[in-house]
A = this chain, B = another copy of it.
Amino acid sequence: MATDAQQACFEAGIKFGSLYHQFSGTPVSPSSARSLEAAMAEAIENQPYCEAVDVTIHDDRVADAIDHENGYTELTGSLMDVEMRIDYEGVAVQTRMEMEDGYPLMKLVAVADDDPSRSGDAAPSPDADPNA
């Protein structure tokens, strides 16, 4: 019922919500940020249709967020940037999470269909088009 592009966007959203709510709250410091970045990326790349995940935890923001003597903070969206690439049935979706007005926003950056016989969401599929 949904188009492949819609399904690709749905899959992209699942990965973002998963990454965020699995890992937010994790104790993090500049010295543990690299292993956490790697684990987050590799964990989510296990999920279906997920081609690539890149997580950057900003050490300067982590250091700024450490406001007590214990030397660590908890991971939140404001400490990291995330980029993901999803590929569902030939539809590639690029997504990004980054700070916008102080709020970590998850965004669709691009939706691209590599199948020239489909023109993406804006046009009918052969099946749906009686004139095809």
Closest-by-CB residue of B relative to A3 is: B121
Tell me which of B7, B19, B128 contacts A9 (CB under 8 A). Answer: B7
Closest-by-CB residue of B relative to A45 is: B32
Q: Which secondary structure dominates where chain A touches chain B?
A: mixed
Within 8 A of B (CB), among A85-121: 95, 101-103, 106, 108-111, 119, 121
Task: Check if A25 sits within 8 Å of B22, measured CB to CB.
Answer: yes
Copies in the assembly, this chain: 4
Task: Check if A46 sits within 8 Å of B17, measured CB to CB.
Answer: no
Task: Check if B2 sits within 8 Å of A26, measured CB to CB.
Answer: no
Closest-by-CB residue of B relative to A66 is: B46
A-B contact pairs, 13 of them (CB 8 A): A3-B121, A5-B121, A7-B9, A7-B108, A13-B14, A17-B17, A24-B24, A27-B46, A38-B39, A68-B101, A121-B121, A121-B122, A123-B132
7 tightest CB-CB pairs across the interface, nearest first?
Answer: A13-B13, A17-B17, A39-B39, A46-B72, A121-B121, A17-B18, A32-B42
Residues of A at under 8 Å CB distance from B? 1-3, 5-7, 9-29, 31-32, 35-36, 38-48, 67-68, 70-72, 74, 76, 95, 101-103, 106, 108-111, 119, 121-125, 128-129, 131-132
